[in-house]
Structure 1
Amino acid sequence: MSCSAIVADGVTGYHLLKIDGYSLTKGTPTGTAIKSNPFTVGGYRCSSKPRISRSPTTSGTTRSPSGVTWSLSARSVPRRGRLTHLAETFVSVPPSDMNRQLGDLLETEKGADVVFEVAGERFAAHRCVLAARSPVFGAELYGLMKEGDAAVVVCIEDMEARVFKLLLRFMYTDSLPEMKNKDAGVMCQHLLVAADRYNLERLKLICEEKLCKHISMGTVSNMLVLADQHHCAGLKKTCCNFLGSSANLSPISRGCLSVMKELVLGCWCIH
């Protein structure tokens, strides 16, 4: 996918038009144009064609071979008209690819100064990038080591390696890769927990939005607990709306509805 843009610069100038013997034009039919001598405004060759009007106002349009258009309006002559020319600039500005460049930086590990060990796997990264994206990482990394120290290994507990890999990818590119539908729900739950842990609010909201589309009778209880623990108001409301719809409840699940309601009320009472 590509895109381009044409940037138009404005060139503005003024021309004073004087019609000698204006009273002699009273016999000229209304709407007749009277062409002026050529003149130059803003570096462009122009001419004026004011049209005769029987009202106290004389109006006209000025054009030039370069596409200049301007209007002349006068209750008396001479009158100064305003001329504006839009000059095309043939410059194509490509979309930003900073996210791709930072993604490449993560993949190549060039200049990496910190290594994370997660569930037996190692990931190299850049302290400055992580600190800029997450205040939690900033406090941990720059509090743990001094500027100029050799890369050290930081152990991350209670997180799967694949989850941390996606977390890093998002911090560098501000996006998530496409996930298979069957894995998306589970992965988004893990990512939401990680995002809340490292104060990545946008990632947290992205995961919350995706989880709202994976609510079912088999997942709604877990979703409610997750929403309550990590303060996801939107996810909690979606779960409550799901439970409030009789179309989503089978005869068996209706028997468990009271338990669900108690869970919801319990979450609300806590807060």
Structure 2
Amino acid sequence: MPPPPPPPPPLPTSDRAQPTKSHSMAISSHVAGDGLPPGSASSIISRSVSGYHLLTIDGYSGTKDVPNGEWIDSCPFRVGGHTWHLRYYPNGETSEYADSIALYLALDDTVAKGEAVKAKVKFSLIDKDGKPLPVHTMTTNINDFSVDNTWGFPNFMKREKLEKSEHLKDDSFTVKVDVTIMSVFHAQETPSILVPPSDMHRHFGDLLSSKAGVDVEFLVGGETFSAHRSVLAAWSPVFRAEFFGPMKEGTTTEAIRIDDMEAQVFNALVTYIYTDTLTDMKQQEESDMAQHLLVAADRYDLERLKLICADKLCKHINTSSVTTILALADQHHCHELKSACLVFLSSPTNLDAAMESEGFEFLTKNCPGVMKDILVSQVVPRKRKSKART
């Protein structure tokens, strides 16, 4: 097994915590998820109103004396807040349909100009059981009704066909007229309650700062850190195994020593577990802290924290740091970060400069797989250029 890559550079001495008996962890005020914009909702509502009227022609043979083009009005009826009546033409509305029965719907109400009532009508002959007959059903489109406009069918049914059918019984038949009035569309605000974003991270941060109910202590870099086993175990499979698996740390009351990690890094690690955010760090120290924290995240199997650190390190890749970051990414299985380093080194100029750094010698001796990847990153772009020339 090749030796591990060189450790990340030590954090600046001026900002490293000094040994004390106990330590309260600082909580960052910058938390993801805050500041969600308020929302609202509304609806566009369309409702139709329906009703029907049964028109019975009792004494059909007597109505045939009514001349073509003349009608008999039904009694008025109400649907959708409007008054309507039917026009029954026993001998048709026009000479063209003199052999047919015509039926029309008329609006009795006076409406303002440009404010016609929109409705559609279905005329159905009723059988002896009171059910509409589909073969003798006709439906209009949606039309504008006013006092001057009636809508229906001039050829609802031929008289000869009706007279030969079983539906004319005792010189009587019935028609069902379904009227559907289309309402005016209108907008309506939908009541809603503004739900604030989750502040669970704040509660956990307060719990950590207050030390209420802590049940485990860590001794790191001369400092003592208090925490809750269940919270750490909920995030980290490694902590879960240590506290609740067959390991002595699960029952020990003594502080757990961590000798290969700096107090500042452990503070950031535990703060992240409780608050899902990183402690504030100075721009010039971000690269060093991200390297240390990436190692800690890999140790405790915190994959999201690893990706956060890898993302920060991508912004610090340069000719002097790329070899160290590449070795770190390879050692701790950060594939995205490793790919970013290889893309940077695919430039011959960047590679030449990186070869002069101290970390390159380490890569050559201890990371043959990485060296192969670097070689491939150089060969592939050149092949592409050659094909482009041809």
Provide closer, same or farther for how the CA distance between residues 13 and 126 of structure 1 changes in structure 2, counting only shifts above 3 A.
Answer: farther
Instruction: Determine the C-alpha separation between the residues in 2 that align with 1:177 and 1:207.
Output: 12
1:127 aligns with 2:195: no
1:58 aligns with 2:142: yes
SS in 1 for 2:115: coil
Structure 1 position 7, deviation (Å):
5.8
Structure 1 position 50, deviation (Å):
1.7
Question: Highest relative contact order (Cα 8 Å, sep 6+), 1 or 2?
Answer: 2
Is the 1:114–1:126 contact (alpha carbons within 8 Å) kept by the matching residues of 2? yes
Mapping of residues 4-23 of structure 1, within 5 Å: 4-6=38-40, 15-17=49-51, 18=79, 19-21=84-86, 23=105
Per-residue deviation, residues 108-157 of structure 1 (Å, max 9, x unmatched): 1111111111111011101111111011101101234698x685411112
Per-residue deviation, residues 179-212 of structure 1 (Å, max 9, x unmatched): 2111100100011010000000000011011111
Per-residue deviation, residues 214-250 of structure 1 (Å, max 9, x unmatched): 1111111111111110111111111111111245467
Provide closer, same or farther for how the CA distance between residues 51 and 194 of structure 1 changes in structure 2, counting only shifts above 3 A.
Answer: same
Query: For residue 299 of structure 2, what is the aligned residue in structure 1?
Result: 197
Query: For residue 33 of structure 1, what is the aligned residue in structure 2?
Result: 115
Query: For residue 63 of structure 1, what is the aligned residue in structure 2?
Result: none
Query: For residue 311 of structure 2, what is the aligned residue in structure 1?
Result: 209
Provide closer, same or farther for how the CA distance between residues 253 and 228 of structure 1 changes in structure 2, counting only shifts above 3 A.
Answer: closer
Query: For residue 226 of structure 1, what is the aligned residue in structure 2?
Result: 328
Query: For residue 89 of structure 1, what is the aligned residue in structure 2?
Result: 191
Is the 2:272–2:278 contact (alpha carbons within 8 Å) kept by the matching residues of 1? yes
Provide closer, same or farther for how the CA distance between residues 243 and 11 of structure 1 changes in structure 2, counting only shifts above 3 A.
Answer: same
Query: For residue 141 of structure 1, what is the aligned residue in structure 2?
Result: 243
Scaled by the length of structure 1, the TM-score of the pair is 0.71
Instruction: Determine the C-alpha separation between the residues in 1 that align with 2:333 and 2:318.
Output: 20
Q: 1:79 aligns with which of 180, 187, 193?
A: 180
Structure 1 position 269, deviation (Å):
5.7
Structure 1 position 79, deviation (Å):
2.5
Structure 1 position 105, deviation (Å):
0.8
Letter aligned with residue 166 of structure 1: A
Considering fraction of residues, name the structure with more helix.
1
Letter aligned with residue 50 of structure 2: L
Letter aligned with residue 50 of structure 1: K
Structure 1 position 177, deviation (Å):
2.6
Provide closer, same or farther for how the CA distance between residues 170 and 254 of structure 1 changes in structure 2, counting only shifts above 3 A.
Answer: closer
Provide closer, same or farther for how the CA distance between residues 2 and 222 of structure 1 changes in structure 2, counting only shifts above 3 A.
Answer: closer
Is the 2:119–2:180 contact (alpha carbons within 8 Å) kept by the matching residues of 1? no
Instruction: Determine the C-alpha separation between the residues in 2 that align with 1:79 and 1:51.
Output: 5
In the comparison of the two structures, how many residue pairs are matched?
235
Query: For residue 369 of structure 2, what is the aligned residue in structure 1?
Result: 266
Instruction: Determine the C-alpha separation between the residues in 2 that align with 1:98 and 1:9.
Output: 33
Q: CA RMSD in A?
A: 4.1
Provide closer, same or farther for how the CA distance between residues 220 and 254 of structure 1 changes in structure 2, counting only shifts above 3 A.
Answer: closer
Instruction: Determine the C-alpha separation between the residues in 1 that align with 2:272 and 2:363.
Output: 36
Instruction: Determine the C-alpha separation between the residues in 2 that align with 1:172 and 1:95.
Output: 17
Mapping of residues 235-250 of structure 1, within 5 Å: 235-246=337-348, 248=350
Instruction: Determine the C-alpha separation between the residues in 2 that align with 1:150 and 1:240.
Output: 45
Instruction: Determine the C-alpha separation between the residues in 2 that align with 1:10 and 1:127.
Output: 53
Is the 1:196–1:204 contact (alpha carbons within 8 Å) kept by the matching residues of 2? yes
Structure 2: gaps (5+ residues): 1-34, 52-78, 87-103, 121-138, 145-152, 154-176, 374-390
Instruction: Determine the C-alpha separation between the residues in 2 that align with 1:229 and 1:249.
Output: 20
Instruction: Determine the C-alpha separation between the residues in 2 that align with 1:266 and 1:146.
Output: 37
Instruction: Determine the C-alpha separation between the residues in 2 that align with 1:188 and 1:80.
Output: 68
SS in 2 for 1:15: strand
Query: For residue 99 of structure 1, what is the aligned residue in structure 2?
Result: 201
SS in 1 for 2:255: strand
SS in 1 for 2:49: strand
Structure 1: gaps (5+ residues): 35-48, 61-74
Instruction: Determine the C-alpha separation between the residues in 2 that align with 1:58 and 1:9.
Output: 24
